[in-house]
Chains A and B, each alone.
Chain A
Amino acid sequence: MVFGLTSALMLFCTLWMLASDHNREWKQYQRQFQNVEAYAAKSRINAQESAAYYDQQEKLEQALREAQSELPDEKLVEAFIAEAKGREKQNGYRLGAIEAAEAELADAHAGQTSADAESAVDPTRLIDLRRNLLSALQTVLDKAKLDEDNAQRELKFKRADLDVARSKYNISVDEGKPQQDLNALEQEVQAVEEEVDNLTFGDSKAKTIGYQQKHEHRLALQKILDRINAGEAAAQKTLADHQTELKRLETTLAERQSNPGKSLLEMPIIDAFGRPLKIDNIWLPQLTINNNFRDVARFDRCTTCHQGIDKTAPGSAVTSGYPATEHETLVIVTPAEPVAFTEEQDEHLKKVLAEEGEAAQNKQAEQYNLVQNYGFQLAPQGLFDLNEVTVSVVRPETAAANAKLEPGDVIEQINDVKLLGRERAVELLLEFADWGKPMELHVRRGIPHPFSSHPRLDLFVGSLSPHKSGDVGCTICHDGQGSATAFKWASHTPNSPAQNEEWTGKYGWFNNHHWIFPMPSKRFAESTCLKCHHDVAELEPSERFPDPPAANLMAGYTTIEKFGCFGCHEINGFDGPNKRRGPDLRTEPAYFAAAQQLLTDPNLNDREKQLAHAVAAHPERTATRKLLAELIAQSVAPAKTEEGERDDEAAAKASEPRLSADSLALGKMLGADDETPGQYRKVGPSLRSVAKKVDLPFLYSWINNPTNFRPSTKMPRFFGLWDHLETDVRNDPTAHLSGHAVPTESKGLADAKKFEPVEVRSVAEYLLHYSQPFEYAEPPKNITEGASAERGKHLFQVRGCLACHQHKEFPEAKQTQGPELSRIGAKLDSDNGKQWLYSWVLEPNRYHARTVMPNLYLTSIVDEKDPKKVSDPAADITAYLLASQEAWKPEEVPELDADAVKALDELTETYLLGSFSKGRAKVYLREGIPNDAEPELKVDEKLLLKGEDNSPEAMQRKKLLYVGRQTIGRLGCSGCHDIPGFEDAKPIGTGLADWGRKDTSRLAFEQILEYLREKPPSGEHGHGAHAAEGEGEHHALDPDEMDQDTGFFVEALLNHEREGFIWQKLREPRSYDFKMTENKSYTDRLRMPKFNLTQQDIENVMTFVLGLVAEPPAAKYVYHSTPRRKAIVEGEQLLAKYNCVGCHTVKMETWEFEYKPDEFEAPPAIPDYAFLKPHFTPAELAASKDVDQRGMGHAVISGMPNPEVQEDDDGNPLYLFSLWEPAAINGETWAVGGVEVPVPEAHRLKVRPYQGGDFSRYLHPVAVEMGKKNNPNVKPSDVWGWAPPPLIREGQKVQTGWLRDFLLDPFPLRPAVVLRMPRFNMSPEEADKLVRYFAAVDNADYPYEYHLPGGGDSLSSDEAKTFGTALELVTDGKNYCVKCHMLGDYKPKGLAADMAPNLDRIYQRLRPDYLKEWLAHPQVKLPYTGMPVNFPPQNDPNESIRTKYIAGTSEDALQDVVELLLNFDSYMKRQTSIKSMVKEPPPAEAEKAALDETAKPQPRASGG
């Protein structure tokens, strides 16, 4: 009994075990995914099995039948018989049968064609008859083959005999047999040879034929038969081709669908032994995971459940096959009234009724109805839920297809009615439809997790991606527990409280804090990129991945770069000099600061001064720096003592060094080396000479609250952050008396109010006191006009200031590279300020040697009308800016009254207590530190030395400076600013290099939850109502009640997670001091300031910081860019640093649009040189003709849309898009410089924005207005030529050496421009990087140098002659180049705006290939250029003039001119003057030409 019971128990437990194995989560997912796959295959089959498909199939089958019943060509049959006749008897052909069969077939055909219905023959009989004929023919062929085979066999045997005979003979020769024997053998061989010949070629004597004839005979027969059969074979092949895709899909379906065998293996119990469901492992032996004591190989089993992760859409390697679920609303057009069945359908329905009954008929009728009216069908049941209304088929070019409905869509709602089942849907669609009115379908598209595919298969998982799943697995990017096979154990992380709740309920998810690598939640998924992408910048969108690979992460990175977080929080990417562990954001060594500080030492000699200046301007020049350091170090070495001089004298000399101890320390700093120095500059301006710029009231106001002066500033707020301090109930001494607590000011708040003004003031005083001298720039001497704010405003607008700065008076300019200038006048409203601003505008690097603000070449301007009037643009701009004040006034600096002095003393004492005992601190506070204590003092305390003057006023000043210095040090001002005396300051904040893995137990959460309960965080989206409920009130912190983003972070805080900590730290940095200030010294309070960050900024920064984990994987996984990619990335960084992209467009807009192929007109053909034609392969052109389900074509174009939007016939906006890249659209090639592509707004699908050039776009309308003053007919497109040019194809255009020189020292290139290229304080290395960038972007050669074919002297006389004629053409001032271009000393008449660049140094600037293409058709290179086509390949209007100079075709002339321009320098060495050679048009004509822009565009080339 007991035994029976326990056995039953055991059996039960075993079964339970097997059942729970059978029901393991992943097995269920795999089973479900099989259904998904089968479903997908089925729906693809359905898509294939369209009516069109069957129509085509029907047609092809008919064609096949026709071919099969065709009457073969009589002549061929005759030829066959004729061929056969010769061998009829020998082979026993029955030719009669052929003839009979043919005759019968012919008769039948005759009957068929006689159009006599009665004698009409059943087509199948024709087929049979034809088959008879063919088989008769085949029989003959078979017999011929038999005969041939026999002959071949016979021949083979005989050949063997021949080999035997030959071998016998050879052996006999070897053995030295007598000649007779040899002869006999030789004869024997010959005899056999003859027999072989006879068998092969036939024996003419015996009248037999050989193998060869038989073979040929059979081939001849075969050929004829093939020709007879050709029609049928071709028809068969076409049909088979047509069916291939469907067959392939059917095979797939068969593989995916379950079958009895598979089902058996998937039965419970049996499936415990493995197949066919199994765990997918990705084994990554080199991509280890750190288990503290050991690195172990990763096993990623994620794909066990995420089965569809790598599935692509058919025909694409990067599009997701199973996109994740999303909801869409589609509008489908309904017919005016229900469409009736076609006859065929009617018939079929009747047949169905007869064969399968009414239910089947209804079903069929319903499908017909849906297809007829809408063009789609519904699946009998849903995939994941049987009741879901799922679309199974969408017919192309129907209402459904036009509404963009797709097979697999689940219709959830029709108009306002939510669907619960299929029947209801059918009712709504067919019975209660409001015919003629559009119907709204709410559909769910895509496949839910875990079945969906990766959304970025171009970047991840996919076989063409850089992160193939087999190579990198999943968890290196996603983290989480890769070896887990259940949802809850994989350490998924929810993205919101709602998701948290959903997962907890659905999957039993829990926050498994034991797994130290949990998946980052979706919002931080990009964090992990930093493990391998240490240089970060490479994650910008690129050619290969135009969609941003990690947008949030990059935004975080740029935010950190912008706000300079690394000034306080070092992010050291190196773990030792050669070991890279992550991104590296550190400030550069402060050599420049040390050099500048050194200059304050009055004992510096001239050489040292000179070197110090050089180092300040170019700290990257190591040799100069080392030399300076060495000189400083040598200054202490005892001067060489003369013999006899006593040692102690020398020692005395040495003990009094020429330079101060501080200077020596600075010298040491200058000599120090860092193997991997930081690369970042401090983000704030240098405060070294700040007293020469602003005064105390402004400084006080600014430090106290920077946003007061400039709301958009990146300077954070340090003072007045009191939210966490405000009131305190506990401190109210009367609470117990009154019975209820009255909120009073807490001690924390009182202290802050008392000390902060003193701190602000002392910091300002310190900065002003230690400010270094600076000499303002002097205005040029020849100025006659006074400064004019009005002129200044215009100059400010057009001379490029707005390319970096903003100003309220020009709201369209939105660049944020430089500070906002609307109030700048109020800041600099002092004598110093005015002079400083003038200096700064005129010559920025005078004040700051390495500033990114460029020199704008604001040279004096001579009035065009009155040459005597000379104005100073810098003074004008200064005047304008000084007038920009917005009536802002700095807040008043509070009096240094008794309370303030007391607070100052208290603060001084607090700081002194850090170094001295209490008693001594009090004495020092009262009397100052005795002078003899100096050697033991720290730098800070030296400020309190009694010195010579220790009057109370002097002491007070000393205390101010002391507290100022302490405060600067404590708050880390030197993290962003260069401040005198802080040259060797270290970052004050926590290092962030591995913050993403920081142990949460080491984060000081303090009383943050209490604080949040008192002041609940209100998200961006409301829920701020709590704040109004009053102070001191407690709220339950329930993340579910908050908006999803805030809730997510509050939940993280409740769980003491890093995400929560840093979120609150960035939001309210001081809030961690809540209720903590009472128990700590004032100077121990938290120091982090509050930055001007939005919620999104905070998340972006977090994405970056959480990604700093310092866990670099094996070297081969770390990203190493190709040289080309590296050049591009470095270049892009420089483009951003100097804001080149403020003026220049570096990437054109890209549009994806659709069109109706039959309505889309082909571009007019332009006759052009072959070398200019864009090249598309036939395959590319054919692919451009593909249409989608709705019959629409798609194309991608890159270039500039015309700013003037047109209207199409229906009054809808129509864009004209000017191409900058050739495009293949609708099977046609669209060239650059041709007609614009018309794109109706409704057809524009996707826009990828241009990059850079905002200022050019801003300037364009302004410049048009300016141009109109001189020429009312100026063409807007020409005006583009006056603005900074787009730098598209710059790499192919210019020579690298020229570009480098130009970047370092730009010279005027185009006379027409509104503003010149300014000069940046760019190092030669940086210029090189930019040059490399342009070469890399366009895949051009780098370095590139054009070698002249020879020196000037080596010109052959032939060449000289050619050049001579070419030069004559070039200098034809009426028709050719010099009409507009300057050349050598010649300058064409007319306005500067119409002039084009000087041609004499073109050979240094342009690459030869480019020059030739440019001259051949300028618009192909620069669509907006006004330069005309001077050498058209055909129909040259100037042909007669051209041939006067150069005989031959246009291309010859083109080639000659190109050659001339490239050899201009060497050729010109033989010439003296150009001027004399120019045949000028009469002056009146020249003037007319200059004005008459529209009649014939003035040629103008671009450049720069």
Chain B
Amino acid sequence: MHGNSADFIQSIATGLGCYYLLLFAMNWIAALWLWRKGPVTYFKAFGLLPVTNVLVWMLAGMFFLTLAPFTMIGWVPTLPAGVKDLVNAASGPVTLSVGALVALGAMFVLRRFFVNPIVAWSGFNLSLLAMGLSMTDPSFAAIVTKPDNVPIVGLVFLLGFFTWLATYKAVQNDDRMAQGLPPLEKEADEKVLVWPDLVYTELICMIALTAFLLVWAIALQAPLEEPASSVKTPNPSKAPWYFLGLQEMLVYYDPWYAGVVLPSVVIFGLMAIPFLDFNKKGNGYFTIAERKFSYLVFQVGFLNLWVVLIVLGTFLRGPNWNFFGPFEPWNAHKVLAQNNVDLSQYFWVEWLGSSMPKAPEGSGAGTQFWYILEREAPGIIAVLAYFMVLPPFMATTKFFRGMFVKMGFLRFMLLSNLLLLMASLPLKMVLRWIWNLKYIISIPEYFLNF
């Protein structure tokens, strides 16, 4: 990588300037929209100055407008090194996964605050500003503007928007229902015809999408990489973006489990939802209050265990599948100590201070099997306990008791096992991070690790 950052800044200055101009335009269009169509809200800034949301967005736009010319002539505002270091340090896998979970929880709890358009739009503006400031970092720019990764950046913003939209509508509906009103969707329950309404809509979508693809094809040419080679694999080797979550799981699990069992279970689990779901509410309208459990399970499963892993795999996994902060150069020579220990080793060697049970040389397959069983007994017992003892125990808790009653034994066991399986992923990650635990059950003799 060329060490000359002045050159780099020069090379992006114009583009970044245009980006700020675009942000200015975006805010002013928003302000215009609000001014013409409403709702215009009045509030007092710092408890003193009376302002309207229109004015706020105009001021935000002005801010971007002043940034633009400076950027274009080369005085590019950047993130201070301290902030970069902080972000780098904070974006380790532990903080990222746990942080995402916590953040999601906070957002869930404080959803009424976050669905406020002013808050959301501010957040959107701030994230775009952060993006602009971060682009001045060569490492960040390189990874974000890589033609492969551009759609994922878009995806992150889209996902944010739709999640917000759904929450926004759900909160509105929940409020209405709390007042005894029907949900908004019921209000606008107007029938439309397939022809011409739907077909027209589809046609328009088709045209717009084609136009979009054309623009994309012209502006962002398809990336071309070297021919595949069995002797030299690219470093890092990455799966397509939608599989990066799976690839991330491979760090923690044996391939057969992370690559075969878990994805299949996910699919089967999704297929099982209609049979497990007894809650008749929430059909055809957005709501959270009426489906809290389903909502939470889905959001954790999709956002935390799938999307966050994709983002992590795309932007933060560098050469040798090492973690790199967003502002950290991808140096292939970075080495991280990764000494992971199996549970059986912990058990026999660390805790009991004895050697691992090992079948005598030349013993038959049967003998070996028993020795392996003995060696892995702690892990096997733990896993069996997790899947067999926990569900009955869960059924005794206040929250699940109702479910157990409504669902019956079989359906409940299925549900609880699926939930446990889902939870096993973050659990295993935590175990790895905290105790360097490699496998709970480790039987390399039969390629069977868990």
Using a CB–CB cutoff of 8 Å, the interface residues on chain A facing chain B are 2-3, 6-7, 9-10, 12-14, 16-17, 20, 291-293, 489, 512, 514-516, 999, 1001, 1009, 1036-1038, 1054-1055
B230 surroundings in chain A (CB, below 8 A):
292-293
Closest to A3 in B: B204
Binds A, one of B218-226, B239-247, B359-367: B218-226
A13 touches B215 (CB 8 A): yes
Given contacts A17-B218, A20-B218, A291-B227, contact A6 B332 (CB under 8 A): no
Partner of A514, one of B214, B226, B332: B226
State in angstroms the CA–CA spacing of A17 and B215 once bound together: 8
A10 surroundings in chain B (CB, below 8 A):
207-208, 210-211
A6 touches B229 (CB 8 A): no
A9 touches B211 (CB 8 A): yes
Judge whether B3 is part of the interface by a CB distance below 8 angstroms: yes
Tell me, rounded to whole Å, the shortest Cβ–Cβ distance linking B293 to chain A. Answer: 40
State in angstroms the CA–CA spacing of A487 and B93 once bound together: 42
Q: Given A6-B204, A14-B214, A1055-B2, list of 18 further CB < 8 A pairs?
A: A2-B204, A3-B200, A3-B203, A12-B211, A13-B210, A13-B214, A17-B214, A20-B218, A292-B228, A292-B229, A516-B226, A516-B227, A1001-B235, A1001-B332, A1009-B3, A1037-B3, A1054-B2, A1054-B3
Partner of A16, one of B208, B214, B229, B235: B214
B3 touches A6 (CB 8 A): no
Closest to B232 in A: A999
Tell me, rounded to whole Å, the shortest Cβ–Cβ distance linking B145 to chain A. Answer: 13
A514 touches B225 (CB 8 A): yes
State in angstroms the CA–CA spacing of A1071 and B115 once bound together: 61
A-B contact pairs, 23 of them (CB 8 A): A2-B204, A3-B204, A6-B207, A7-B207, A10-B207, A12-B211, A13-B214, A13-B215, A14-B214, A16-B214, A16-B218, A17-B214, A17-B217, A20-B218, A291-B227, A292-B229, A292-B231, A512-B224, A515-B226, A999-B232, A1036-B4, A1037-B3, A1055-B2
A9 surroundings in chain B (CB, below 8 A):
207-208, 211
State in angstroms the CA–CA spacing of A1001 and B225 once bound together: 17
Closest to B203 in A: A3
State in angstroms the CA–CA spacing of A1001 and B235 once bound together: 10
B211 surroundings in chain A (CB, below 8 A):
6, 9-10, 12-13
Partner of A293, one of B2, B210, B228: B228
State in angstroms the CA–CA spacing of A274 and B422 once bound together: 57
Partner of B227, one of A12, A17, A292, A1001: A292
Residues 177-227 (chain B) with a chain A CB within 8 angstroms: 200, 203-204, 207-208, 210-211, 214-215, 217-218, 224-227
B227 surroundings in chain A (CB, below 8 A):
291-293, 516
B1-20 near A? 1/0 per residue, CB < 8 Å? 01110000000000000000
Closest to A513 in B: B226
B203 touches A16 (CB 8 A): no
Residue of A13, A291, A1001 most packed against chain B (CB within 10 A): A13
Tell me, rounded to whole Å, the shortest Cβ–Cβ distance linking B442 to chain A. Answer: 32
B229 surroundings in chain A (CB, below 8 A):
292-293
B208 surroundings in chain A (CB, below 8 A):
6, 9-10
B207 touches A16 (CB 8 A): no
Residue of B204, B225, B230, B231 most packed against chain A (CB within 10 A): B204
Tally of contacts, chain A with chain B, CB under 8 A? 59
Given contacts A293-B228, A514-B224, contact A1038 B4 (CB under 8 A): yes
A489 surroundings in chain B (CB, below 8 A):
224
Tell me, rounded to whole Å, the shortest Cβ–Cβ distance linking A12 to chain B. Answer: 8
State in angstroms the CA–CA spacing of A417 and B76 once bound together: 42
B215 surroundings in chain A (CB, below 8 A):
13, 16
B203 surroundings in chain A (CB, below 8 A):
3
Residue of B3, B227, B231, B235 most packed against chain A (CB within 10 A): B227
A1001 surroundings in chain B (CB, below 8 A):
235, 332
B278-292 near A? 1/0 per residue, CB < 8 Å? 000000000000000
A516 surroundings in chain B (CB, below 8 A):
226-227
B4 surroundings in chain A (CB, below 8 A):
1036, 1038
A293 surroundings in chain B (CB, below 8 A):
227-230
B217 surroundings in chain A (CB, below 8 A):
17
Residue of B211, B229, B332 most packed against chain A (CB within 10 A): B211
Tell me, rounded to whole Å, the shortest Cβ–Cβ distance linking A38 to chain B. Answer: 32
State in angstroms the CA–CA spacing of A774 and B230 once bound together: 57
Closest to B210 in A: A10
State in angstroms the CA–CA spacing of A6 and B207 once bound together: 6
Tell me, rounded to whole Å, the shortest Cβ–Cβ distance linking B70 to chain A. Answer: 23
Tell me, rounded to whole Å, the shortest Cβ–Cβ distance linking A785 to chain B. Answer: 73
B232 surroundings in chain A (CB, below 8 A):
999
State in angstroms the CA–CA spacing of A1054 and B2 once bound together: 6
State in angstroms the CA–CA spacing of A514 and B227 once bound together: 8
Closest to B235 in A: A1001
State in angstroms the CA–CA spacing of A13 and B207 once bound together: 11
Closest to A1037 in B: B3
State in angstroms the CA–CA spacing of A7 and B228 once bound together: 41
A1036 surroundings in chain B (CB, below 8 A):
3-4
A999 surroundings in chain B (CB, below 8 A):
232
Closest to A20 in B: B218
Tell me, rounded to whole Å, the shortest Cβ–Cβ distance linking A1021 to chain B. Answer: 23
State in angstroms the CA–CA spacing of A6 and B332 once bound together: 47
State in angstroms the CA–CA spacing of A515 and B204 once bound together: 41
Closest to A489 in B: B224
Tell me, rounded to whole Å, the shortest Cβ–Cβ distance linking A1393 to chain B. Answer: 71
Tell me, rounded to whole Å, the shortest Cβ–Cβ distance linking B347 to chain A. Answer: 34
Tell me, rounded to whole Å, the shortest Cβ–Cβ distance linking B365 to chain A. Answer: 39
State in angstroms the CA–CA spacing of A14 and B212 once bound together: 11
Tell me, rounded to whole Å, the shortest Cβ–Cβ distance linking A524 to chain B. Answer: 21
Closest to A501 in B: B7
Tell me, rounded to whole Å, the shortest Cβ–Cβ distance linking B235 to chain A. Answer: 7
B218 surroundings in chain A (CB, below 8 A):
16-17, 20
State in angstroms the CA–CA spacing of A762 and B27 once bound together: 80
Tell me, rounded to whole Å, the shortest Cβ–Cβ distance linking B29 to chain A. Answer: 16
Closest to B225 in A: A514
Tell me, rounded to whole Å, the shortest Cβ–Cβ distance linking A983 to chain B. Answer: 36
State in angstroms the CA–CA spacing of A999 and B226 once bound together: 13
Closest to B201 in A: A2
State in angstroms the CA–CA spacing of A1009 and B215 once bound together: 42
Tell me, rounded to whole Å, the shortest Cβ–Cβ distance linking B5 to chain A. Answer: 10
A514 surroundings in chain B (CB, below 8 A):
224-226
A512 surroundings in chain B (CB, below 8 A):
224
State in angstroms the CA–CA spacing of A1036 and B7 once bound together: 13
Closest to B221 in A: A489
Closest to B234 in A: A514
Tell me, rounded to whole Å, the shortest Cβ–Cβ distance linking A519 to chain B. Answer: 15
State in angstroms the CA–CA spacing of A2 and B225 once bound together: 40
Closest to A1013 in B: B3
A16 surroundings in chain B (CB, below 8 A):
214-215, 218
A13 surroundings in chain B (CB, below 8 A):
210-211, 214-215
State in angstroms the CA–CA spacing of A1036 and B5 once bound together: 11
Residue of B203, B207, B215, B232 most packed against chain A (CB within 10 A): B207
B204 surroundings in chain A (CB, below 8 A):
2-3, 6
- Which 5 residue pairs across A and B have the least CB separation, nearest first? A292-B229, A291-B227, A13-B214, A13-B211, A514-B226
Tell me, rounded to whole Å, the shortest Cβ–Cβ distance linking A550 to chain B. Answer: 28
B228 surroundings in chain A (CB, below 8 A):
292-293
State in angstroms the CA–CA spacing of A293 and B228 once bound together: 8
Tell me, rounded to whole Å, the shortest Cβ–Cβ distance linking B306 to chain A. Answer: 30
A17 surroundings in chain B (CB, below 8 A):
214, 217-218
B258-279 near A? 1/0 per residue, CB < 8 Å? 0000000000000000000000
Tell me, rounded to whole Å, the shortest Cβ–Cβ distance linking B6 to chain A. Answer: 10
State in angstroms the CA–CA spacing of A1036 and B4 once bound together: 9
State in angstroms the CA–CA spacing of A292 and B231 once bound together: 9
State in angstroms the CA–CA spacing of A1001 and B231 once bound together: 13
State in angstroms the CA–CA spacing of A533 and B253 once bound together: 53
State in angstroms the CA–CA spacing of A872 and B429 once bound together: 92
A20 surroundings in chain B (CB, below 8 A):
218
